[in-house]
Structure 1
Amino acid sequence: MKINRLAFTSLFLAGGATMCTAADVGADNSSAVIGFEDTGLEIGASSWVLDKTTGEIVPAPAGFVNEDPNQYNAFPQCQVDDGNLAIKCLAGQRPCPPRADGKPGVPVIWKVAPRSIANPTWTEWQGNGGGPVCLYDRNPEDLLPRIAGLIQREFDKLPVAPGKVTAQPSPHTLRGAETNFYAEATEQQFDTTILAQKIHIIAKPVQYRWDYGDGTSLGPTTTMGAPLPQDRWGEKTGTSHAYAQTGDFNVVLTTYFQGTYSVNGGPALPIPNQGQFSTAPQTVSVWRSVTRNYADDCITNPRGQGCPGATVTKDR
């Protein structure tokens, strides 16, 4: 048996959709159903988009640039042809209890069609596995708590440049001498989308960790170090390190960034935890110094070790 939507009395919901109650069709049907237009439901949103991050359909914010070739809409679970509802379906439709904030739920089927067609033939969307789901009156503001729960994961996935690490002297240094390390890292900004909402993120470097490659490390520390003039190389600094052994060591700098984010141009909100981003290993070769005494200077013996043009012997 089918029942036409015109037989229902209507209760207006936010967004202009209507809800019809089972009392309008008889006491045997206690489940509520939703009224609709031929183009589908519009509950709290004028358009819906597929969010690439979560794979669900969410409201599109104002000014959203949609690059998806498809359009999406929700239709009552029990809708059949010509805008009718199947009466036998109503009693067994998916229950959608109100949310904690009291907003009512509606059992719907999501459908998809090419966006280039004005009055398309809709087919059931299988991105959620198909079948009925509960749709609530939603708008971009309703998504803020969910965005807050996803922001840390998205922050950690950003292509944040961890900074540049420099060693003095480099690429060779001496065993037992202080090698000065310093970092160069800058504040960075990113624009992304979460649940189809425009998110602006600012990442600011706040701490640094140095892994010197010989099993020792420094940090996290707020000190990023600083360059020394060449005549002061070998001095101990807040980020310098003296290697006890010779060899090649891979130095890694990890920069900790603190982030803030804003949704659709709203106020800046803090991202709870710091993001950690590491540089590629930089090789530092540690040599040992050798002292030799010579009887002649380079004028007397121009081919002596240490003189211009002489063969250089390196000790490690």
Structure 2
Amino acid sequence: MLLTTSPLDVHAESEGKPRIGGGFIDTGVHVGADNWVPNPNTGEFSRAEPGTVSSDPNEYKYELQCHLGGGDFDTPCLARQLDCKDREDGAKGIPVMWLSRPRGVPGAVWTYHSGPTCFYDPKPEDLLPRIAADIQRQFQNLPVSAGKVTAQPSPNTLRGAETNFYAEAVEQQFDITMFGQQVHVVATPVQYTWNYGDGTVFGPQPSMGGALPQGRWGEKTRTSHAYASTGDFQVVLTTSFQGTYSVNSGPPLPIPGQGQFNAPPQGISVWRSLTRNYADDCNANPQGQGCPGAGASR
């Protein structure tokens, strides 16, 4: 499936002209063509006219700069790839590497010829490299929900006791438009980092935790935390998502790196527990410590 289609593409194919744009095929991404001739003066490549018989002993094709094959791109390379701006005549530019091999030699291997250089053509360009270069930024800007945070017990807990925190995060899907193309993004939660608000950070690690029955509150869990002092704290969960994207219903491609998203802060109040012995009860002494109306201490 082509990344871009237009009546010009169909018309060109009907005349037997080689198509320049890249597209999706079952084995991944196919780019380039095999009917190119270099200008002996400038070294720039252009399409050979239909029926042209070349005297050049080599044949040529281009590949997208930073393309590793299939749907994979070299992420560090994308950060420094050649910037091909659109020309004033409307021609679109893409960064490419030119390869060559001996013409008509069975099993000949494609080797580097020249580049990187900007390739321009008046037809719609293959936008996959632009999408690949920008998809991580787009992914981080999506409204991905990091998950709901729950504390047990809540909203109050005791100093020195284990407070169980757990998240509820799910896979999410988004449809966006990039460079005029329809891009489907799938975000899957893979790691969690807990900032408990008292200077303690746990993660990133793969467990989102889980709920405990009330009778087991206070037990230590994978994501629980025991506060050493009293006070009000804001617990922040950061969920790391791994993403994939597909262009125009093409095969899913991995998004480089991960996207980090924060859940809304969960407030927790940490109290202290005191044990005292009393000679009478609250019926006899309503103002005694620990009695209703006598106030509580933190």
Both structures adopt the same fold (TM-score exceeding 0.5): yes
Aligned to 1:314: 296
Question: Which runs of structure 2 are paired with 1:246-257 in the superposition (5 Å)?
Answer: 246-257=230-241
Deviation, structure 1 residue 282: 2.0
1:231 aligns with 2:215: yes
Deviation, structure 1 residue 296: 2.9
* 1:268-311 per-position Cα deviation (integer Å, ceiling 9, x unaligned): 1111211000123222111111112222345655675555xx30
- Output the CA distance in 2 between the equivalents of 1:96 and 1:196: 32
Deviation, structure 1 residue 108: 5.1
1:281 aligns with 2:229: no
1:166 aligns with 2:146: no
Q: Give TM-score, length-normalised by structure 2.
A: 0.60
Question: Which runs of structure 2 are paired with 1:101-120 in the superposition (5 Å)?
Answer: 101=61, 109-110=89-90
Q: Structure 1 315/107 Cα, relative in aligned 2: closer, same or farther at 3 Å?
A: closer
Amino acid in structure 1 at the alignment position of 2:89:
I
Deviation, structure 1 residue 267: 0.9
1:180 aligns with 2:164: yes
- Output the CA distance in 2 between the equivalents of 1:293 and 1:182: 37
1:200 aligns with 2:184: yes
Q: Structure 1 299/280 Cα, relative in aligned 2: closer, same or farther at 3 Å?
A: same
- Output the CA distance in 2 between the equivalents of 1:264 and 1:170: 46
8 Å contact kept, 1:107–1:134: no
Amino acid in structure 1 at the alignment position of 2:175:
D
Deviation, structure 1 residue 204: 0.6
* 1:103-136 per-position Cα deviation (integer Å, ceiling 9, x unaligned): 9x9965349xxxxxxxxxxxxxxxxxxxxx9841
Deviation, structure 1 residue 137: 4.8
- Output the CA distance in 1 between the equivalents of 2:289 and 2:61: 85
Amino acid in structure 2 at the alignment position of 1:241:
H
8 Å contact kept, 1:178–1:242: yes
Question: RMSD of the TM alignment (CA)?
Answer: 3.1
Of 248, 252, 259, the residue aligned with 1:264 is 248
Question: Which runs of structure 2 are paired with 1:9-20 in the superposition (5 Å)?
Answer: none
Deviation, structure 1 residue 189: 0.4
8 Å contact kept, 2:288–2:294: no
Deviation, structure 1 residue 232: 1.1
Q: Structure 1 296/195 Cα, relative in aligned 2: closer, same or farther at 3 Å?
A: same
1:242 aligns with 2:222: no
8 Å contact kept, 1:200–1:261: yes
- Output the CA distance in 1 between the equivalents of 2:155 and 2:242: 31
- Output the CA distance in 2 between the equivalents of 1:102 and 1:270: 23
- Output the CA distance in 2 between the equivalents of 1:208 and 1:191: 25
Aligned to 1:136: 121
Q: Percent identity?
A: 61
Deviation, structure 1 residue 236: 0.5
Show structure 2 runs of 5+ residues with no match: 1-7, 13-18, 22-41, 47-59, 64-83, 92-117
Show structure 1 runs of 5+ residues with no match: 1-12, 18-42, 46-94, 112-132
Amino acid in structure 2 at the alignment position of 1:188:
Q
Q: Secondary structure at the match of 2:166?
A: strand
Q: Secondary structure at the match of 1:146?
A: helix
Amino acid in structure 2 at the alignment position of 1:136:
D
Q: Secondary structure at the match of 2:215?
A: helix
Q: Structure 1 289/193 Cα, relative in aligned 2: closer, same or farther at 3 Å?
A: same
8 Å contact kept, 1:15–1:44: no
Q: Structure 1 296/44 Cα, relative in aligned 2: closer, same or farther at 3 Å?
A: same
Q: Give TM-score, length-normalised by structure 1.
A: 0.57
Amino acid in structure 2 at the alignment position of 1:209:
T
Amino acid in structure 1 at the alignment position of 2:225:
H
Deviation, structure 1 residue 16: 5.2
Q: How many residues align?
A: 204
